[in-house]
Amino acid sequence: MAQYDAIIIGAGMSGLAAGIRLAMYDKKVVVLERHYVWGGLNSFYQFKGHQFDVGLHALTNYAARGARGLPLSRLLKQLRIRWDDLDLHQQGFSAVSFPGVKLKFSNEFELLRSEVARAFPQQADGFDALTRAVREFNELDLEAPQQDARPVVRRFINDPLLEDMIFCPLMYYGSAREHDMDWDQFVVMFKSIFFEGFSRPQQGVRHILKLLIDRFRKAGGELRLKTGVRRILTDGNRATGVELDNGETLTAETVLSSAGLVETERMRGQEPGAQATGKLSFTETISVLDQPAKHVGIEETIVFFSNTARFNYAQPADDVDTSSGVICMPGNFDLPSTPRDHLVRITNIANYDRWAALGSAGFQPASGAGLRPAPQAADETSAAHAGATPALPYYTAKQHWYERSCADAISHIADFRPHVTLVDMFTPRTIRHYTGHEGGAVYGSPKKLRTGATGIEGLYIIGTDQGFLGIIGAALSGISMANRWVLQRDTSAVEAT
Amino acid sequence: MTDEHIKQAIIGIIADIAPDEDTGSIDPAVRLRDQMDLDSMDFLDIVMELRKRYGVQVPDTDYQHLASLDSCVAYLRDKMAGKQLVS
Ligand SMILES: Cc1cc2nc3c(=O)[nH]c(=O)nc-3n(C[C@H](O)[C@H](O)[C@H](O)COP(=O)(O)OP(=O)(O)OC[C@H]3O[C@@H](n4cnc5c(N)ncnc54)[C@H](O)[C@@H]3O)c2cc1C
- pLDDT, tens digit (0-9, with 9 covering 90-100), for A420-464: 999 999 999 988 988 889 999 999 999 899 999 999 999 999 999
- Do A62 and A152 sit in the same domain of this protein? no
The SS3 of residue A303 is strand
> A4 - beta bridge partners?
A252
pLDDT at A496: 41
Name the residue among B82, B71, B57 with its Cα closest to residue B7.
B71
- Do A77 and A219 sit in the same domain of this protein? yes
Which chain A residue has the Cα nearest residue B17?
A77
Rg (Cα) of chain A, in Å, rounded?
Answer: 22
For residue A41, the tally of other CB atoms under 10 A from its CB is: 24
In a domain, A441, yes or no: no
Give B25 to chain A, closest Cα distance, Å.
Answer: 16
Instruction: Tell me how far apart the alpha carbons of residues A426 and A460 are, in angstroms, rounded to a whole number.
Output: 30
Query: Given A196, A229, A252, which residue is the final one in a domain?
Result: A196
- Do A285 and A371 sit in the same domain of this protein? yes
- A26 → closest Cβ in B45, B52, B61: B52
CA of A230 to the centre of ligand 1 (A): 19
Instruction: Tell me how far apart the alpha carbons of residues A152 and A467 are, in angstroms, rounded to a whole number.
Output: 20
Q: Is A11 in the pocket of ligand 1 (CB under 6 A)?
A: yes
Which chain A residue has the Cα nearest residue B52?
A25
- Do A74 and A30 sit in the same domain of this protein? yes
Q: Is A13 in the pocket of ligand 1 (CB under 6 A)?
A: yes
Q: Is A204 in the pocket of ligand 1 (CB under 6 A)?
A: no
In a domain, A440, yes or no: no
- Do A220 and A81 sit in the same domain of this protein? yes
Domain ranges within chain B, ordered by starting residue: 3-76
- Do A288 and A267 sit in the same domain of this protein? no
Q: Do A77 and B42 lie within an 8 Å CB cutoff?
A: yes
pLDDT at A363: 44
- Do A381 and A396 sit in the same domain of this protein? yes
- Do A207 and A190 sit in the same domain of this protein? no
Name the residue among A91, A88, A71, A82 with its Cα closest to residue A191.
A71
- Do A404 and A312 sit in the same domain of this protein? yes
For B3-76, CATH number? 1.10.1200.10
- Do A191 and A214 sit in the same domain of this protein? no
Is A434 buried (19+), middle (13-18) or exposed (0-12) by CB count in 10 A? buried
pLDDT at A380: 56
CA of A15 to the centre of ligand 1 (A): 10
Domain count, chain A: 3
Which chain B residue has the Cα nearest residue A68?
B37
- Record the pTM: 0.93
Name residues of chain A where pLDDT drops below 70. Answer: 1, 359-369, 376-391, 492-497
Query: What residues in A contact B39, CB-CB < 8 Å?
Result: 69, 74
Q: Whose CA is nearest to atom 38 of ligand 1?
A: A259
User: What is this model's ipTM?
Assistant: 0.90
The secondary structure of A413-430 as a DSSP string is: S---GGGEEEEEEE-HHH
Residue-wise over A72-108: b if at least 16 C-beta within 10 A, else e?
bbbbbbbbbbebebbbbbbbbbbbbbbeeeebbbbbe
pLDDT at A218: 96
Give me the domain span that covers residue A428. Answer: 279-435
- Do A227 and A215 sit in the same domain of this protein? yes
Name residues of chain B where pLDDT drops below 70. Answer: none
Q: Is A35 in the pocket of ligand 1 (CB under 6 A)?
A: yes
Query: What residues in B contact A77, CB-CB < 8 Å?
Result: 17-18, 37, 41-42, 45
